[in-house]
Structure 1
Amino acid sequence: MLKKDNGGNCPKENSQEITPMMQQYYKMKEQSGEAILFFRLGDFYEMFDEDAQTASKELELTLTSRSKSPMCGIPYHAAEGYINKLINKGYKVAICEQIGDPKAKGLTKREIIKIVTPGTVMNESALPGLQNNYIALIHENGNKLILAGADISTGECFYSVYEGSGRCQVLCDELYRLMMAELLIIEGISCKEKICEFLSLHIPKCVITKIKEISPAVDDRITEHFDADNRPARAEASAAIATLLDYLHLTAKTDLSHLNHLTYLDASTNLVIDAYTLRNLEITHNLHDGGKKGTLFSVLDFTGTAMGSRKLSKWLEYPLLDRYKIEQRLDAVEEMVNDFSRREQLSTQLKSIYDFERLLTRVEIGSANARDMLALKKSLYALPQLKSSLHGSKAALLQEIDKNIQTYEDLAALLEKSIADNPGFLLRDGGIIKDGFDEELDEYRHLASDSQSLLQHMEDEERQKTGIKSLKISYNKVFGYYIEIRKSNLEQVPDNYIRKQTLVNTERYITPTLKEFETKILGAQEKILQIEYRLFTEVREEVKKHVASIQVTAHNIACLDVITAFAETASAYNYIRPAINGNGSIVIKDGRHPLIERILTREIFVPNDTILDNGENEILIITGPNMAGKSTYMRQTALLTLMAQAGSFIPAREAIISPVDRIFTRIGASDDLASGQSTFMVEMNEVAHILKYATKNSLIILDEIGRGTSTFDGMSIARAVIEYIRDKVAAKTLFATHYHELTDLEDDKHVKNYCVAVREKGSKVSFLRRIVSGSADKSYGIHVAKLAGLPKAVTDRAEKILADLETADKEKNSSPKTTVPAKETAPQPMMDTLFASTLSTELMKLDVSTMTPLEAMNILYKLQQHAKREAGKL
């Protein structure tokens, strides 16, 4: 959403009538631009004018006034929570702090110390822990669109360049993968309207920020952040990256040297998944609310760290294309699957590792507190055990990870000696450094906690030195600490005593030692805080020296976490290792849908086979009733292919996967109303996109093409699409349709007919969820209507109308048909085989020796119900 400018101009009243403080406020407001200005006044952040009205509404604050200006405020110590609320609503917040001495005469000096935006927020409480918080920028140069992006909370920085007629759509696909919190658009982008429309439909929470021009010092900004071997070759890419970095420096106003490694997003090295497919297959975001629940990610997420969870999302959104790299991941997963003890050890050890990436960022920018250091110490302590568990790995990828993980024993020892075991959250509260780490700190702590006993000890020493038994050390607010001696003992006063005050019967003295003691006692607590902060920053600077190295370790830990998660999923859900080949075929035996089989609780998921290649099984036309499982089957094939190329085991009995370069899907029309386009127009746009970019190495999933228009129009378009794919594209295709007439396209070269097995017994119909060779001759729509709960009167009337229509059609078309006769839906011998295969898989999973009688009865009942359904008796 694009938030409008909240003002920033001074009131119309004569500036001489405005107080100096408000003049200062309006000056700061002009600098903050569209951001809501938090103006520090004592112990509060105050907002005025339009900012106050906005904040009072969004934060439910009481609106007051000052000098006729609307005003509201919040306590400074509670600001983080309020800032987070505004950021989550798409606003920006500028923090204006008092940087001068508040007790000094005149107006306190103030400056904007940072501007918090959705893409630059650094507060841990505001960041999505298991997701990246990306900010991206789009720049256009000639016929090139350049994307630059970063996550300043983790240190990632990347870019890509898009060319060709479809560059805007490819860019939008990338934006959908990023799900960034904020997008910067440099003015003059030719496809800005299309990008903004795409964001409003698919990433509505993304804040759009306009940038007037590119960075005026591109080379300086690039050399500041990246070494010579890590800079983009293209000048236009450098301009985009430098402009993004300028914005980050302008808003964060802190050290951003951790943004030091630049990654080029090269689509040629990955399986390309466009926005439609990411959405339709619910890979990392569901269709309901965009969350993780009910996605492929949620099924596979056995990760133990936040870094691993973010890495899992990337592996699923950017599956591999290179067979060798895929095999490397599968080798590592297989070794973990076969070594339960090692997997258990690693899973436990990974759970003790905190979010290195964001911890290191807070260290780099100087915002890390003592608890961050404690989390870092605990994480570092886990590394030696992690390496020990990896020792002896045979898989090349595990060996590489082991090699790249360092242990940092010296740094862990420093943190152990220095940081308190239970430090406060705020550095200014103290209690963050351990006793025994620094002699001076220990001395001041001793003074603060035991000043009376130390004073008594000093008094006893002075009595012993001088021989004056009546000598006393006392204190008052006027003179501080002093030594009091009766006038009868003045001859015994040492030469180093300095007379301070004369009374009737006594004299009062001070000594350099006593004065030093007084200074220490009176300033002990303040000094303790100063020393602790100094020591803490020294420790933090020592950690900072290792940031780049620990970032490499963090990356490898994240990869190890995903591999371990894949192995845990495979073990828990009975997944197998797919064989990877390069002959263009996809052969899956007894494949299962990874999401739906996890949802089913009262019935057994029916597995299915898939055979696709660039020969006689290139296009599979799938017919059968709605709700019988066609869409599930097609999604299942796409998901299993994607999982294999991500390096995961898959739910099947056997599988051979030849990597595909792209997966295209056309399923459903969830955005039709929101986009303002008809269902049919959205459908045709997506089909056009598929036919334009698909290659012979692609996998295409098309579900019910042509249903948004008239029967003959839809059938004609569906047939033409199949013929185009067959004759021009030659991609592996699953094509589900309710147009039975299309089954006459079957041939021995490219096209095969398949259908969903159905068993009819009288008026009862059972969907067996099994995909078999052949074509369906009925839609069973009325049966589906019954399942959906339509009134019996409606379905009975529908059956009567259907019978009349079928009779009329037969009479009208009494001449011999030219189409291929529909094949038998479900031959009995085949169904017997299928039935046995389904139940045998479940039976082989059972460990009968460990079951209780009650568990055995429950499982037997479940299997019996499934058998009855397949036999058409339920």
Structure 2
Amino acid sequence: MERALGAPEKMRERYEDLTPMMRQYCDLCGRYDGSLVLFQVGDFYETFCEAAEVSARLLEITLTKREDSTGSYPMAGIPIDSAESYIETLLDAGFRVAVADQVQDPEEASGVVERAVTRIVTPGTLTEDELLRSEDNNYVAALAREEEYGLAFLDVSTGDFVATGSSSEETIRDEISRFAPAEAIVGPGIEGFDGFDSAERSSAGSQTWSGDSDCMVTPYDPAKFEVESARALLDSYFGAPEKRLASDAEIAACGALLAYAEYTRGGQEGHLDYLNHLTRYEPREYMLLDRVALRSLELFEPRAVGGDAGNTLLGVLDETACALGRRKLTDWLRRPLLDPVRIDARLDAVEEWTTLVSAREEVHDLLIDVYDVERLIARVSRGRANARDLRALKDTLDRVPEIREAMADVESDTLCSLREDLDELGEVRDLIDRAIAESPPIEVTEGDVIAPGYDADLDSLRETEREGKAWIDSLERRERERTGIDSLKVGFNQVHGYYIEVTNPNLDQVPENYTRRQTLKNSERFYTPELKEREDEIITAEERADDLEYEIFTDVRSEVAGESERVQAVAETLATLDVLVSLATVAAKYGYARPEIADEPGIEIEGGRHPVVERTQESFVPNGARLAPEERLAVLTGPNMSGKSTYMRQIALITILAQIGSFVPASGARVGIVDRVFTRVGASDDIAGGRSTFMVEMGELATILRGASERSLVLLDEVGRGTSTADGLAIARAITEYVHDEVGALTLFATHHHELTALAADLESAFNLHFAATQAEEGVTFRHDVSRGAATASYGIEVARAAGVPERVVERSRALVAAEEADTESATDGGEPATASGGDGPLAERLRSLDVANMTPIEALTTLDRLKRDLD
């Protein structure tokens, strides 16, 4: 959660008595009261008062004191050279950080050194490589509300900027989950947005996003969300926003987000020149995968805490060569397509790459040398790139002609188009090659950055500097010969400049033209008129050269920044190529097949496999699947550990893969476009939200029943197990009937309620599938292959035994099952089973009297609850 430290109260109370420097610190804290201010004092960033106490504790640094005529103040500081690691800790603790740098040379200051906030570091606006923890997008979001919601996402490090809008709060929440922003700002009228009201607020009015504790959410300046103000700012970047955005709410969100991105630059020039594109999208243009589906299907993160990130769908697909490709692959998985034409275009490209093996491998090897030019050109445009960054950009652009050449034989429309889109940017490459030294230093203000021959004036100054240093290099030999002092040395230091050093025993041989410069314990240091003249020439030439070199470098950097839009276009093309090559590599390596994309709803899979599980097992049993309008609801039964959950998930993952344009782990597949994948496959308590497992389950089911369509794929696993058996059975049946009769979605329903297999006879489009197992004296063998029909047993006790449950518990379980079966047989033969305490008849009789099949879900719940109270 975001936290804030305003101007220290102790300082505010006695502001007029403070020293000029402390007033300066107090002013900055007040101006940036939503941030912890790091205040440069020499080579350190200092904090004072409460901020110092907090910093010392969080950063594990020494808490000291500053004492002056006005009093004593707690103080804690961090070295500027290692500041980024400390800033990262402060971000993790929930702080924004305002970095106040000295913007004036102390030697030129007549009073207190001028300082200004040069950047504000927040979780969603990171641009520093040291703070960006992965190659993935790092989004900051903005949410506005007019007549409907407007939502925008911006990755400040790459320039990716997208927006959407909807009148549906649920749609907006789903899009937030899809993009998983690290930070969000919100405008007026958002207080009633579901998920904000229950979030704990900080002293700055900020809060965490409900259900996503990694997102810092803060109300932002309402004036920035005003539509006219936002419209004017957007117009200065992209032209009239009405041409791109669909509502005032979207304009407000995008404008406020731009203003916030500018604000985090502190005192730097506001306009972000590298933001060249704002793209509006419709959520309905892509398959929707909400937070529940993303987690249960393990697209990006394993469900197990501390699980291997490679055991995810992204992990098994990621054969990308560069950061650009990985981000693009993540985006494709986040937003699978709904347009069969676009899907088939991608599949054509993947198929061609599977056949052009040599060219594919060559392109992959070339892409390995591609730097993260999206982030690189963003740094160039912000004026934060050094000479090595420019060289890295040139190295990347040098690969472009080679990649074009490697693609000479491609024929698919997609690959041909990508080849033509590869702008070689020859003039940019040539400029960097001529202007920037081959191996420049990291610092751009200390020389050796500009290549020889690029600027005649600079070359002349460097030549003067070299000649002077060469003269000095030979001075020691000449003076030794002239004076006869063999121990004479010529040296240099920053304080006294160049000097001639003579030890004390040889001082009587010092020539008359030597002038004393410094006295040491065992020697004296001198200079001569000629040495002083050369020193002045060298220092003057060196200073002028360094200044001119920095000026030339910034001019070159600005000229490169002027081509940022073309560089970003090349980055987009390289990213797409990298993903297509990666998908083809996976397909070829692991035996994936091209899916057929159909217009009509339905999924047919031959020999399907789970793309993640098959990589972790020595062997995997493939299974087919068929869901169609006439058989759209499959009731899946079978023992625990037989593979029901894996089977359901693999069908969903194969569908997702097909719709991103990937080949699929199967011998064949035909996929009708799916608009949304819903999953209800396991739940846990939401303790913080005060919701039980059963309540979480019911909430997810409510979302499915409200949002699913006949084009959706629904996975239901053990619905109703969070409550009593009777209640759970009633709920499971009622929901299944509703999905079949009212929704019409393609549905897989795994259950241990064998009574539900009767649905296949009662519902026109329902059918049974099961995973079989065989039992022998040595135990149960799970076959892991799916067949038509219902399972005959669950083998729960055998599974418990295989898991290591003590034998005494296993035997007692068998005895209890045998007793229950005996009671059932007795009742069937006319016997009378035991009655429940407080009831009015046998339990079996009461249950048989309930016509659950013809009840609504509410009626069933009410009736079963009444029965349970009676029996209790």
TM-score normalised per structure 1: 0.84
- C-alpha distance in 1 between matches for 2:65 and 2:464: 49
8 Å contact 2:5–2:51 — kept in the other structure? no
1:541/1:289 CA distance change after superposition, 3 Å: farther
- C-alpha distance in 1 between matches for 2:472 and 2:47: 51
8 Å contact 1:176–1:202 — kept in the other structure? no
Q: 2:133 aligns with which of 120, 128, 135?
A: 128
Correspondence for 1:223 = 235
- C-alpha distance in 1 between matches for 2:591 and 2:707: 36
Q: 2:100 aligns with which of 88, 96, 101?
A: 96
Aligned pair 1:548/2:565, yes or no? yes
- C-alpha distance in 1 between matches for 2:748 and 2:620: 21
Correspondence for 2:480 = none
8 Å contact 2:297–2:649 — kept in the other structure? yes
Correspondence for 2:485 = none
8 Å contact 1:303–1:562 — kept in the other structure? yes
1:81/1:524 CA distance change after superposition, 3 Å: farther
Correspondence for 2:41 = 41
8 Å contact 2:607–2:622 — kept in the other structure? yes
Correspondence for 1:757 = 772
Aligned pair 1:234/2:273, yes or no? no
Deviation at 1:589, TM superposition (A): 0.8
8 Å contact 2:605–2:666 — kept in the other structure? yes
- C-alpha distance in 2 between matches for 1:6 and 1:769: 62
- Three-state SS of the structure 2 residue aligned to 1:221 is helix
8 Å contact 2:164–2:280 — kept in the other structure? yes
Aligned pair 1:180/2:197, yes or no? no
Deviation at 1:652, TM superposition (A): 0.6
Tell me which amino acid in the other structure corresponds to 1:649: F
Q: 2:596 aligns with which of 566, 579, 587?
A: 579
Deviation at 1:353, TM superposition (A): 0.5
Correspondence for 1:811 = 826
Correspondence for 1:77 = 81
Q: 2:425 aligns with which of 394, 399, 408?
A: 408
Correspondence for 2:407 = 390
8 Å contact 1:10–1:26 — kept in the other structure? no
Deviation at 1:444, TM superposition (A): 2.5
8 Å contact 1:136–1:150 — kept in the other structure? yes
1:221/1:606 CA distance change after superposition, 3 Å: same
Q: 2:802 aligns with which of 761, 776, 787?
A: 787
Q: Which moved more, 1:574-583 or 1:527-536?
A: 527-536
- Three-state SS of the structure 2 residue aligned to 1:344 is helix
1:521/1:634 CA distance change after superposition, 3 Å: same
Deviations 1:144-201 (A, max 9, x none): 12112201110011111121xxx22222222222221111122431434514758556
- Three-state SS of the structure 1 residue aligned to 2:130 is helix
- C-alpha distance in 1 between matches for 2:467 and 2:149: 69
Give runs of aligned pairs for residues 442-481 of structure 1, distance below 5 A: 442-451=459-468, 453=470
Deviation at 1:432, TM superposition (A): 1.7
- C-alpha distance in 2 between matches for 1:815 and 1:312: 65
Deviations 1:22-62 (A, max 9, x none): 11211111011121111111222110011111111111110
8 Å contact 2:195–2:210 — kept in the other structure? no
- C-alpha distance in 1 between matches for 2:282 and 2:221: 28
Deviation at 1:421, TM superposition (A): 2.2
Correspondence for 1:699 = 713
- C-alpha distance in 2 between matches for 1:815 and 1:272: 54
- C-alpha distance in 1 between matches for 2:119 and 2:386: 18
- Three-state SS of the structure 1 residue aligned to 2:218 is strand
8 Å contact 1:480–1:518 — kept in the other structure? yes
Tell me which amino acid in the other structure corresponds to 1:185: V
How many equivalent residue pairs? 767
Correspondence for 1:588 = 605
Aligned pair 1:569/2:558, yes or no? no
Correspondence for 1:189 = 190
- Three-state SS of the structure 1 residue aligned to 2:76 is strand
Tell me which amino acid in the other structure corresponds to 2:252: A
8 Å contact 1:172–1:275 — kept in the other structure? no
- C-alpha distance in 2 between matches for 1:233 and 1:801: 65
Deviation at 1:563, TM superposition (A): 0.5
| Alignment RMSD (CA, Å) | 2.8
Give runs of aligned pairs for residues 146-545 of structure 1, distance below 5 A: 146-163=150-167, 167-192=168-193, 194-195=195-196, 202-215=211-224, 217-228=229-240, 231-253=244-266, 254=268, 255-289=271-305, 292-451=309-468, 453=470, 520-545=537-562
Deviation at 1:519, TM superposition (A): 5.2
% identical equivalent positions: 38
8 Å contact 2:191–2:197 — kept in the other structure? no
- C-alpha distance in 1 between matches for 2:626 and 2:469: 88
Correspondence for 2:509 = none
Tell me which amino acid in the other structure corresponds to 2:253: A
- C-alpha distance in 2 between matches for 1:531 and 1:20: 34
Deviation at 1:238, TM superposition (A): 1.1
8 Å contact 2:97–2:120 — kept in the other structure? yes
8 Å contact 2:605–2:625 — kept in the other structure? yes
- Three-state SS of the structure 1 residue aligned to 2:34 is coil
Correspondence for 1:740 = 754
Deviation at 1:354, TM superposition (A): 0.4
Aligned pair 1:778/2:779, yes or no? no
Deviation at 1:763, TM superposition (A): 5.9
Tell me which amino acid in the other structure corresponds to 1:333: V
Tell me which amino acid in the other structure corresponds to 2:423: Q
Deviation at 1:17, TM superposition (A): 3.0
8 Å contact 1:622–1:734 — kept in the other structure? yes
8 Å contact 1:116–1:251 — kept in the other structure? yes
8 Å contact 2:196–2:210 — kept in the other structure? no
Deviation at 1:76, TM superposition (A): 2.2
Deviation at 1:457, TM superposition (A): 12
Deviations 1:301-358 (A, max 9, x none): 0001111101101101100001111100000000001111011011101111101100
- Three-state SS of the structure 1 residue aligned to 2:805 is coil
- Unmatched 5+ stretches in structure 1: 459-474, 482-500, 502-508, 820-874
- C-alpha distance in 2 between matches for 1:728 and 1:269: 24
Aligned pair 1:656/2:670, yes or no? yes
- Unmatched 5+ stretches in structure 2: 200-207, 476-491, 499-514, 516-527, 832-843, 848-872
8 Å contact 1:447–1:454 — kept in the other structure? no
1:107/1:672 CA distance change after superposition, 3 Å: closer
- C-alpha distance in 1 between matches for 2:64 and 2:170: 49
Deviation at 1:437, TM superposition (A): 2.3
1:105/1:618 CA distance change after superposition, 3 Å: same
1:764/1:109 CA distance change after superposition, 3 Å: closer
